[in-house]
């Protein structure tokens, strides 16, 4: 009886976590390159009550036994890397990836992190950087007097410079992709880090085997689907409610047991 109170409480806790994750998804509805998450659960350990007189000899036929579970636990929060919609921005330094690749970004300490957020800026020293000032890897520097930047779907960057008739090729964007992107670690600021679960990155050029095209002048919106999240929220809320009913039933039964003798 007391056990069922605790069991139902794990159910309520689990649904709370679902709502937390849904809230984060909805909060990032308009975050560029955001990838939604979902919580996954497993059941907890079971207590096996052997019936008295049941055979403990392994070769005998299965005897009746009672297995009582202790509820549920969250095992992971999984990121889902489905493609978000691309929307035009008219900013030549906004890039979206249509495919599985990630932009490589160099952190101040030299580590490489990965992002789907291609809203790049030009730093004071002319390099292509993210909104937080982290440098795009491999590094691209724009010459002074640049009047226009063109980025092809294969990721070749060329600049139109004052006094030159031909555009000057500055470099090539390199993308990374992962066997299991769901294993990447979220480190905030739209950045991901590789982990053992994600596998090592494979590098390649855009518009080749699965890395995806680079679209200049577009951003990738978040892949959060409001209707889906709302449905999930209703499911979580109802599951929360029904677990509270289980607590209430257990509590009523305890009260009845207490009232056996008045």
Of 75 and 169, the one with the shorter C-beta distance to another protein is 75
Total residues contacting another protein by CB under 8 A comes to 73
Q: Beta-carbon neighbour count of residue 224 at 10 Å? A: 22
Cα(138)–Cα(142) distance, integer angstroms: 13
Which one of residues 29, 31, 56, 80 is an interface residue with another protein (CB under 8 A)? 80
Count of other CB atoms within 10 angstroms of residue 102 = 26
- Please, which residue, 18 or 215, has the CB nearer to another protein? 18
CB of 238 to another protein, least distance (A): 7
Considering only residues 224-253, where is the footprint of another protein by CB under 8 A?
235-236, 238-239, 242-243, 245-247, 249-250, 252-253
User: How far apart, in whole angstroms, are the C-alpha atoms of residue 252 and residue 262?
Assistant: 16
The H helix count followed by the E strand count for the chain is 2, 21
Query: Which residues between 11 and 50 bind another protein (CB under 8 A)?
Result: 11, 14-15, 18, 38, 40-46, 48-49
Among 30, 62, 163, 188, binds another protein (CB under 8 A): 62
Residue of 24, 26, 31, 72 interacting with another protein (CB under 8 A) = 72
> Is position 210 an interface residue for another protein (rule: CB under 8 A)?
yes
Q: How far is the CB of 218 from another protein (least distance, A)?
A: 22
Closest C-alpha among 9, 2, 1 to residue 244: 9
The tokens describing 262, both together, are 């008045």
Smallest CA-to-CA distance from 116 within 225, 192, 195 is with 192
Site residues for another protein, 142-181, by CB under 8 A, read 179-180
C-alpha distance from residue 184 to each of 74, 77, 82, 93 (Å): 18, 11, 14, 26
């Amino acid at each position: 009886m007391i056990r069922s109170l605790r069991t139902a409480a794990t159910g309520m806790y689990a649904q709370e976590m679902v709502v937390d994750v849904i809230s984060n998804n909805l909060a990032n509805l308009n975050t560029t390159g955001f990838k939604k998450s979902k919580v996954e659960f497993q059941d907890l350990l079971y207590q096996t009550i052997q019936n008295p007189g049941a055979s403990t000899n392994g070769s005998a036929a299965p005897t009746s036994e009672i297995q009582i579970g202790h509820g549920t636990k969250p095992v992971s929060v999984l990121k889902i890397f489905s493609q978000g919609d691309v929307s035009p921005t008219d900013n030549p330094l906004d890039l979206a990836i249509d495919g599985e690749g990630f932009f490589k970004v160099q952190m101040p300490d030299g580590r490489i992190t990965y992002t789907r957020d291609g809203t790049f800026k030009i730093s004071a020293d002319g390099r292509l950087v993210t909104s937080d000032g982290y440098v795009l890897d491999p590094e691209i520097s724009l010459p002074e007097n640049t009047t226009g930047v063109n980025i092809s779907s294969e990721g070749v960057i060329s600049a139109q410079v004052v006094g030159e008739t031909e555009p000057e090729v500055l470099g090539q964007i390199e993308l990374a992709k992962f066997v299991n992107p769901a294993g990447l670690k979220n480190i905030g600021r739209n950045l991901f880090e590789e982990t053992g679960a994600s596998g090592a990155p494979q590098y390649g050029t855009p518009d080749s085997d699965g890395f995806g095209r680079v679209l200049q002048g577009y951003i990738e919106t978040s892949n959060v689907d409001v209707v889906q999240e709302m449905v999930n929220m209703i499911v979580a809320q109802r599951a929360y409610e029904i677990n509270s009913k289980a607590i209430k039933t257990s509590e009523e039964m305890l009260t009845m047991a207490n009232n056996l003798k008045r």
